[in-house]
Structure formats: C-alpha cells, structure tokens
Structure 1
Amino acid sequence: MCGIAGIFHLETAKPVEPARLRKMTDSLSHRGPDGSGIWTAPGVGLGHRRLSIIDLEGGAQPMLTADEAQVISYNGEIYNFQDVRVELESLGHQFATSSDTEVILYAWRQWGVDCLKRLNGMFAFAIFDQRTKQLFLARDRLGVKPLFYAPVSDGSILFGSELKALLANPLLRREPELRAVDDYLAFGYVPDHISLLKGVKKLPAGHYLLLEQGKPEPAPIQYWDMDFSQRNKASASALEDELVALMKDAVSARMIADVPLGAFLSGGVDSSAVVALMSEKSRQPVKTCSIGFDQASLDETSYAKQIAERFKTDHRARTVAADDFGLIDRLADHFDEPFADGSALPTYRVAELARENVTVALSGDGADEALAGYRRHVFHHAEERVRGLIPESFRGPALGWLGKVYPKADWAPRPLRAKSTLLSLARSGPEGYAEAVGVTTPAGRHAIYSDAMAKQLDGYRGEARMIDLMERAPARNGLDQAQYADMKMWLPGDILTKVDRTSMAVGLEAREPLLDYKLMEFAAKLPTNLRVRRGTGKYLMKKAMERYLPHDILYRPKMGFVTPIAQWLRGPLADEARAISGAGALARMGWFDQQALSKVADDHIAGKADNSRLLWQLLMLDKSLQRLFSL
C-alpha cells in the first residue's frame, strides 16, 4: 500500500520540476513511511511513497522495465500477480523482482489497456509509456484505492492518491464547487462524481484514463461494471457451497504478504466470517483486534471475544472513552474533503491498534453491499412490493398527504414511525431510496441555505445522481437498483474512503476479501429471496456461514461502529456547534443563513430536537473549509 503522485504535460513536453513533484509526494508520507522516489522525463514526472508489503528489497518505485520504455507508480495489491506472472513468462517476459508492481508493467506492455481484465486486486496506478508518450491511469473495479486528478494553468494534469497531493502544487486553483456542498449535505460525504474543489476530478471505480501528449484530455473509459440483470438458477445448497468457496479463495489470496498480517474483528457477521476462514487457512493463530467503548450500549467487544475464543486467535482489545472526540481535527486533515460518517473515529482507533502488531489487516467490508445486508435494503425491498400493489395514481397523492400530516415520532417504537415510510411510498422507488440513504433532505438543506446559495445552486439536487444510477442500472427490480447505486456511489464514496484514509493515516494496509470482484459478480446474480428473506438481509451468506459461526453472531441485530455524537454536541462540543453560525469558515463563505444555523444549534443543545447529524455535517464541513481555503 502506498501513495502516488505525478505531473503530466498534455500539450508540450515541458520539463517537470523535481522539487515540486517531491513536495506532492511528501504530502503522502503517511501512506508510505518505508521509502520514497521520483522519476522525471520531458513532460512527465512520477512520484511514489512506499509501504513495503511484497518483495521488501526489490519493489522500490517508480519502477522501470529493463529497457526503460515503461515506468510505473502504483498503489495497491494484485492478489493474482503470481498467476499473471507465469502467463507473462510463458510469453517471453523476464522479471528482475518478485513484486506485483513489475507484473503490472509487463502486463501493460503485453496487453495494453486489456491488462486490467487480468488483474484481480485493489489498485490505482500510473504508467508512462515512453514509446507512445501515453500516460495510463487506472483504478480498481470497486474503487478500493483512490485517484484524484486535475488540469492546471500550465497545461499539465496533476494526479495523486489524495487531494492533498494536488494541493501541494501551487498551480492548483482553489475554488469551491457549490454543487459538491449539496451532495455532501445530502449524503454525508462528497461522492466520486464531484469534488469540493472546482476542476478536481476523481477517476471513477472500474475506469481508466489514457492521456497522450499533443492530444486533449479524454473522458475516462469504463472497463468493468456490475450486472444485476441475470439470475443464477442453481439450487440454494449449491449456491451456498459456491459462495463459501469464493469467500475462501478471496481470503486466501489476501493472506499473501511478506510482513505481519492480521484482521479487524468487530464480532459482526462479516468480520467474524473473514476470521473464521483465515483461521482455517493459517497454521498460526490469526492476530485479531477490536475496539470497545466504555459505554455499554455502544460496545460489541463481548461478541468479538466470543469469536476470538472460538477460533483461538491472538486477540487484542482496547477500550476507548465514549467522549473520544479528540480525533476530529486529525481526521479532517486526513480526509481533506468533508466526511461526516461518525464511524471514522472508531475505525481510526482500530487501525491504530492493529498497526501496533501488523502491517496488513483484513476487514469484513463489502458483504452488505454485495448481499443486501443493510436494513435500508430490507425496507426498500418491502416498500417496492407495496409500490407494486398500489397504482401510482393513487399512491402519490394519498400516501403523500398522509405522510405530510402524520406526526414525526423519532421517540416512538419503530412500527409507529410511519411518516418517512409514507413519504417514501408516495415517491418512485429511486426517489424514495435516494432520500432514505441520505442524511439531510432537500427541504432540510434549503431551510438553512442563504438566498444567494439557493440561487447559485439553481435547482441542483444531490439526490439526482443516485436516482439516475438506479434508473439506469442493469437490474431486474428495486433491490437490484438500490444495491447497484450503493456499489457505485456509497461504497467508494463513504465506506472505502473511510477505510482507506483511516488505515493509511497510521501506515496500515487494509484488505477487503468480501469485495473480490468474482464474489461480487456471483452475488449480483443471486435470486432476490437469497439476498433478502423474511426481513433478513444477507440471507444466503448467513445460511452458508452456519457451518462456522454461532447463531447469536449470525442473527443478532446489526450494530456497526456507533459514536455518541448527539451527546457530544450538547456537551463538550456545544461551543463548536454554536460557533458554526457566526465565527467559523461556514459563516465567511456566505452559503448559509446564520439565523437558521443558530436555531439548529440552539434547538439541539436545549434538547428540543435531535439535529446531531446535520450539526456534525456542518462541523466537519467547517473544518474542511478551514484547511482547503485557509479560512
């Protein structure tokens, strides 16, 4: 796992200043504490920071082919690199190292852009081909590894693993993109199709970009996509066996490393499944770690301990205080763009704990997206069945009216909290799901925008991207659409961004076996009733793992990393909540109505309303703006 950065001149082969490139690369030192390197030629420069995982002595980068015709800077791991190497050797290629980096270089040399179809891994890389004067930028299928890029005034393209690499170059223009503010408030993160800095782009997951000197910047090209339009017709028992086999292969492939390796263990289904399969493969006790909280309602360590004892792992647990909000500024530094998923704090802590003993840690991320494990998937599936029974001509007006007059009752038992369900059913499936997965509704956002901000947005709505993804999805039903949109937007924008930034902040490589693309393609073809059945999501995986895991682990309510943000904002962070409306960067930008922000903060602090999610978004946005625009 590493950090990459570079400069490529599109129009003319101007010289690249090594000091400027090194500054970009050094901004990523946390991603690669074990070494650094830069390489320049007329019109191009590649930089690299290395976290040594494979071939510790021979894998330094940027790396050149023997004849120096191609050079690469690469972040990630190719899990099937040994198989690809054997194929390349049979075609006459010779290797000087044992690294997966060199395999990518010669795969490009042999197959060009089609090399991506042969690589199974997580990656973002840049290859410059001196014969064709082309720069090849590529990102893995699911978007595990990030890649930012932007054109600047001297005709060059800057790129890097994080936004801070581009920010280290003085030519990058720092102008806010207001549409990204609406996207962020809608979802709690800035999705991959947009950036908070105007002109900055993120290479989409499953895409590549082929730049050539003397030609204009092209659009990214998609080389892989999920397809939910097909169905596997095998028996349920056969599909169980196939799923377990795919999971075993994925875990086994991700256990290859020349450094200490372990796993995150929360005690949930996904991390427990990964640890179970690791234990079956390993001759030594698997090193596991978990984070607990000193507040019982937030703590899952007893479940993690149960799994650790079951599989005799070398387990370490640490308890952190429920008021562990001291990380906020550090996380704002690492994320660059605003990021309001509160689980980033405990994720950082568990990565920090893991790094004390290992350099690589396997996680359980990805199964919820692949196999419909979120509660919102179960709810949406049920709502879609209701939509199919009630004509739209009646459903929209009648349920919409009922939803408006039904009282909001967050305090009531869940069956009585029907307001959001009624409003959702009144809309189309994509419209209802886009708001269900969101944080702040369009009406809620416009209630706090200034008149000038609303005018500049000109009707732009962050939910539109997710709605469009669902409507265009290769899918058979609403559940397919929801999962497809989550994989294209939520997964790379929230989940994988969180894991990448928090693990890289401490120099740890996180690997996600349940995001293996073969497993994902298999899951997309599962019949709907093997994903969601009788109110249970991830049905087939839970049935398949009954041979490994106890019932109370498999079927207990999903919890996840929870942080007591509402209490923080009424207590130790109350002053920061109040300052948002008048003294912070937000106030100076002029995007928000200060009186409306004051009311949001005051009502929450007084206990009149729970505005914690919105206040947390605004607080993280404020801290991001301070850093991006020196406010």
Structure 2
Amino acid sequence: MCGITGIFDTRGQREVNRAVLTRMNESQHHRGPDEGGLHLEPGVGLGHRRLSIIDLSTGQQPLYNEDQTVCVVFNGEIYNYQELIPELQALGHVFHTRSDTEVIVHAWEAWGDDCVRRFRGMFAFALWDRNLETLFLARDRLAVKPLYYALLPDGTFLFGSELKSLLAHGGLRRDIDPLAVEEYFALGYVAEPRTIFRQARKLPPAHTLTLRRGQPVAEPKEYWDVRFSLDGAYTVEDACAQLNAKLSESIRLRMISEVPLGAFLSGGVDSSAVVALMAGLSAEPVNTCSIAFDDPAFNEAEFAQTVADRYRTNHHCDLVASDDFDLIDTLARLYDEPYADSSAIPTYRVCQLARKHVTVALSGDGGDETFGGYRRYRMHLMEERMRSAIPQRLRRPLFGLLGRVYPKADWAPRMFRAKTTFEGMARTTVEAYFHSISILRGPMRTQLFSDRFRSESDGYNAEEVFRYHAQRAGTDDPLAMIQYLDLKTYLVGDINTKVDRASMAHSLEVREPLMDHELVEWMATLPSSLKVSGQEGKFLLKKAMEPSLPPGILYRPKMGFAVPLARWFRGPLKDRVRQAVLGPRLAATGWFNQHYLQHLVDAHQSGASDYSSPLWTLLMFEAFLRNVVDPLPEGSAVSVAIASGVSS
C-alpha cells in the first residue's frame, strides 16, 4: 500500500516546483514510510511514498517502461499480475522488476484505457505517457483505494491519495461545499464524487480520467459495473461448493506477500470465514489480531478466541477501554473530511495492534454488502412486502400522518418504536431505504439547518445520491436494489474510507477478499433467496462455512464494531460535546439552528432521547473545521502558494 500525488499543467509545460511536489508527497509519508520518489519533467510532477510489500528490492516508484516514456505511480495491489506478465512478454514487453506495478505500464502500452479491465485487485494509479502527452488516472471497481483530484482556475491539475496532499499544494481553496454538508449530515460521509471542498473531487469507483495536454479536462469514464441478474440456477449444495472455491481463490491471491501477513479476527462470520480458509491455504499458523472491550456489551473477544483456538492461529488481542475517546481530533486530521462512523475508533486500534505483528492483514469487509448480511436488509424486505400490498396513493397520506404524530420512543421496547417504520411505509422503496440509513433523517435536517444554509444549498437533498444510483441499478428486486445502493455508497464512502485511513495511519496494508470483483459479480447472479432467507442473512455464506465454523459463530446475533456513544455523551464527554455543539466554531458557519442544537444536547443529556449519533456527527464536523479548515497549508504561506500556481 502506498500514497501517490502529482501536479499536471493542462495548458502547457510550466515548470513544477520540486519543493511543492515534495511537500505534497511527504504529507502522505504515513502511507509509505519505506521509500519516496519523484518524477519531474516540464509540466508534469508525480510523487510516490512506498510501503514495500512485493518485490522489495526493485519495486521502487515512480516506475517506467523500457524507454522511460511511460511513468506510473501506483497505490494498491494487482493480484493477477503473475498471470499478466507472460501475456505481456509474449507481446514483446521486457520486464526489469518482479513487481505488479510494472504490469501497469506495459498493460497501458498494450491495451490503452482498457488495461484496467484486465486488472484484478485494489488500485489507484496515475500514469504519464510522454509520447501521447496524456495523464491517465484510474480507480479500482469497488473503490478500495482512494483518489482525489482538483482542477485549479489556472489550469493546474492536482491529484493524491488523500485530500491532505492537495491541500499541501497551497492552491486549493478550503471553501466548503454546502451540498457536501447536506450529504454528510444525512450519511455520515461525503458521497462520491463530491468532496467537502468545492474545488476537489473523488474519482468514482470503476472510473478512469484521461487528461491530454492542451485539451479541456474530460469527465471521468466508467469501465465496470455490477449487474444483478439473479438468474443463476444452483442447488444450495452446488452454490456452496462454488462459493467455497471462489472464496479460496480470492484469499489465495491476497496471500501473496514478501512481508509478514495475517488477518483481522473479530469473531463475526466474515472475518472468521476468511481466517478458516486462510488456515487451509497456509502451511504455517495464521497470524490473527483482534481487540477486546472492557464493556461486555461491546466485547466479541471470546468468539474471536474460539476461532483462533480451532485453527491454532498466532492470536494477538489487546484490551481497549470503553472510554477510548481521545482520538477525536486525530481522526479529524486523518480523514481530511468530516466522517461520522464512530467505529473508526476501534478500527484505528485494531490496525495499530496488527501493525505490531504484520505488514499485511486480510479483512472481512464487504461481506454484508456481498452476501446480504445487514439487519436493515431484513427490515427493508419486511417493509417492502407491506408496501407492495398497499397502493402508494393510500400509503403516503396514511403512514405519513402516522409517522408525523407517533412519538420518537427511543426509550421504549423495540416493538413500540414504530415511528421509523411508519415514515418508511409512506415512501417509495428508494426513499424508504435512504430514510432508514440516514443519521439525521429529513425532518431532523430541516430543523438542524438554518435558513442561510438552505439558501446556500439551494434546497439540495442528499436523497439525490440514492436516486441517481437507483436509476442505474438495472433491477427491481428489493434486496438487489439496496445491495447495489450500498455497493455504490456505504461500502465506498464509509467502510472503505474508514479502513483505508485507519490502516494507512499505521502503515498497514489491508486486503479485502470478500470484495473481489469476480466474486461480487458471481454473487449478483444468485437469487436473493440465497442471501436472505426468512430472518437469516448471509444464508449462503453461512451454509458454505458450516463444515468449517461452529454454529455459535455462524448463527449468533450480529454485534458490530460499536462504541458507547450514548453513555459517553452523558458522562465523560458531557462537557466536551456541549462545548463543541453549542460553541463558537459551529455558530460561526451560520448554517445551524442554535435552538435545535440546544435541544439535541439537552434532550440527550437529560436522558429524554438518544441523540448520540447526531451529536457524534456534529462533534466530528466541529473537529474537522478546527483541524482541517482553519489551519494554513503546511509549510508555506497561502498567498505565495496561490500566486505562483503550478510553479509554487
């Protein structure tokens, strides 16, 4: 895993200042502490920080083709590189390293833009072709690896693995996009392709971006999408056999490494399945890492230990205090954008632990989206059956009224907390799913934001993100639709972002066998009944793993990687949350209704309501403003940096 960055003059060949490029590159030192390299020529500068995993001796970057007319900086892994090398050699290409990176430059020469279709892996790379005067950027199919870019007013194009590398240039304005703020308070992250800053963008999953000197910057181009055909005719036994084979292949490819390798082991189904299959593929005991919490309500350590004992892994477990909340400002600086998934805290800690023992760790991320594991899927399917039984013209007024008048009863037993269900029943399928996963739902955001914000955001609703993807899903199957939505939004914006930043903070590479695109494609051909069967999520995965894992692992209730926010905000963080939410920094934006902020804090701390998620979202937004927006660019004066453009 590495960090990449660069500067490109889209209009000509203005000199790139080495000091600025170095500053951008070094801002991502944590992503690649082993080596750093730069490539500069008129109008082009590429930077790379390396975390050495494969071909330790000769895999340095930037890396070139035979005559050095093609240059690449690359973050990630091409897992099928060993298959591609003989094919490219047969076409006359000469390899000078044993690295997967060199495959990219020769694949570009052989297949051009279509080279990305041949790659199986997680990747973000930038490639400069001097003969074609072309800069080519690409991001992997499921956006495991990040890639940000910005076009400045003077024609300077910036890119980097993290926003901090673009900010380090000095020319990127820190003007916040109100539409991104709306997305953040709905989703807990800013959805692709938007970023929190007006000038910057994320390259979407499975997209490339081609820039040619002297030509206008084109729009990103999609090269892959998943199609939920649901037409695979398999018996359960045949599907289990195929799934085992595909999982084993995906894991085998991700065990290629020249440095210590292991796996995260939470004791949940996904990570336990990965470890079980790794053990069958490894001649040596697997290294496994997990964390335990001192609060039993959040502790899964005993389940992880059960799997570790069964497969005799080299198991490492650290105890994390349930009041481990001192990472708030660290996380704000780490993510560069407001990010509200509180499980970033334990994820950061387990990556910290893993790095003490391994350099590469396999994870179970993506299992819920691929196999149908989220509890919300089962709730959505139940509501969808009710929605289909009542015409929309009747549902919307009836359940809309019930949703408005029914109290928000967080304190009541779950069976009496019907407000969300009523609100969902009044909506269409896509509207209801967006409503169910929103941190602050529509009515809450209406109260949260001021008239000034509504004016600046021009009435934009983050629900548009889901509508856009729903139109492209190509399915009306209720489960397939929301799986597709999660693959395009939550998996990318939340899960992959969380794991990438937390792991890279500790120079740890995390690999994701359950997000292998060939596995995702195959699962999309299976009927939804093999994913959610009755009240059982991940039906097929659990059936396939029954010979390998005990029922107590496969069929226990899902816990998740949670932290006790509600208790924190009424106890040790009581004063901090009050100061942050009601303090001067949020007020200075003019975007928030101060009376509603006061209500959220008072109602939560009195115990009248559980507003822990909205309060965490506000707390992290305030931390982002203080830690990312307010500071000057590192190492230079903003005015000087902006004035000198590409050469600054």
Class of the TM-score when normalised by the shorter of the 2 chains = over 0.9
Answer with 410-419 or 5-14: which moved more: 410-419
Aligned-residue sequence identity (percent) comes to 50
Q: Which residue of 1 aligns with 2:71?
A: 71
| Deviation by residue 1:90-125 (Cα, 9 ceiling, x = unmatched) | 212111100000011111111111111110000000
Q: Which residue of 2 aligns with 1:222?
A: 222
Which residue identity is paired with 1:496? N
Report if the CA contact (8 A) 2:69-2:130 is conserved. yes
Which residue identity is paired with 2:288? T
Which residue identity is paired with 2:338? P
Query: How is 1:276-287 mapped onto 2 (pairs within 5 angstroms)?
Result: 276-287=276-287
Q: How much does 1:414 deviate?
A: 2.3
Which residue identity is paired with 1:339? Y
Query: How is 1:265-304 mapped onto 2 (pairs within 5 angstroms)?
Result: 265-304=265-304
Report whether the alignment pairs 1:253 with 2:253: yes
Number of residue pairs the alignment of both structures matches: 631
Which residue identity is paired with 2:476? R
Which residue identity is paired with 1:550? P
Q: How much does 1:198 deviate?
A: 0.5
Q: Which residue of 2 aligns with 1:460?
A: 460
Instruction: Provide the rounded CA distance (Å) in 2 between the counterparts of 1:433 and 1:90.
Output: 50
Q: How much does 1:413 deviate?
A: 2.7
Report whether the alignment pairs 1:521 with 2:517: no
Q: How much does 1:235 deviate?
A: 2.0
Q: What RMSD, in angstroms, separates the aligned Cα atoms of the two structures?
A: 1.1
Q: Which residue of 1 aligns with 2:414?
A: 414
Instruction: Provide the rounded CA distance (Å) in 2 between the counterparts of 1:80 and 1:506.
Output: 26
Q: How much does 1:582 deviate?
A: 4.2
Q: How much does 1:359 deviate?
A: 0.1
Query: How is 1:200-599 mapped onto 2 (pairs within 5 angstroms)?
Result: 200-599=200-599
Q: Which residue of 1 aligns with 2:638?
A: none
Report whether the alignment pairs 1:619 with 2:616: no
Report whether the alignment pairs 1:185 with 2:156: no
Which residue identity is paired with 2:149? Y
Which residue identity is paired with 2:218? P
Q: How much does 1:534 deviate?
A: 1.1
Q: Which residue of 1 aligns with 2:82?
A: 82
Which residue identity is paired with 2:93? H
SS in 2 for 1:502: helix
SS in 2 for 1:547: coil
Q: Which residue of 1 aligns with 2:176?
A: 176
Which residue identity is paired with 1:331? L
Which residue identity is paired with 1:451? D
SS in 2 for 1:358: coil
Q: How much does 1:5 deviate?
A: 0.2
Q: Which residue of 1 aligns with 2:639?
A: none
Instruction: Provide the rounded CA distance (Å) in 2 between the counterparts of 1:584 and 1:280.
Output: 57
Report if the CA contact (8 A) 1:580-1:597 is conserved. no
Report if the CA contact (8 A) 1:365-1:514 is conserved. yes
Q: Which residue of 2 aligns with 1:139?
A: 139
Instruction: Provide the rounded CA distance (Å) in 2 between the counterparts of 1:155 and 1:618.
Output: 35
SS in 2 for 1:558: coil
Q: How much does 1:408 deviate?
A: 2.6
Report if the CA contact (8 A) 2:93-2:106 is conserved. yes
> Which structure 1 residue ranges, 5 or more long, are not aligned?
none
Q: How much does 1:236 deviate?
A: 2.1
Query: How is 1:117-156 mapped onto 2 (pairs within 5 angstroms)?
Result: 117-156=117-156
Which residue identity is paired with 1:160? G
Report if the CA contact (8 A) 1:124-1:137 is conserved. yes
Report if the CA contact (8 A) 1:580-1:587 is conserved. no
Instruction: Provide the rounded CA distance (Å) in 2 between the counterparts of 1:578 and 1:393.
Output: 43
Q: Which residue of 1 aligns with 2:50?
A: 50
| Deviation by residue 1:284-322 (Cα, 9 ceiling, x = unmatched) | 100001001001111000000000000110001111100
| Deviation by residue 1:141-165 (Cα, 9 ceiling, x = unmatched) | 0000000000113311100000000
Instruction: Provide the rounded CA distance (Å) in 2 between the counterparts of 1:390 and 1:536.
Output: 26
Query: How is 1:80-119 mapped onto 2 (pairs within 5 angstroms)?
Result: 80-119=80-119
| Deviation by residue 1:504-550 (Cα, 9 ceiling, x = unmatched) | 00000000000000100011111011111111111111111111111
Which residue identity is paired with 2:394? F
Answer with 580-589 or 485-494: which moved more: 580-589
| Deviation by residue 1:365-392 (Cα, 9 ceiling, x = unmatched) | 0111011110111111222122222222
Instruction: Provide the rounded CA distance (Å) in 2 between the counterparts of 1:382 and 1:473.
Output: 21
Which residue identity is paired with 1:406? Y
Which residue identity is paired with 1:412? A
Instruction: Provide the rounded CA distance (Å) in 1 between the counterparts of 2:243 and 2:304.
Output: 23
Report if the CA contact (8 A) 1:228-1:476 is conserved. no
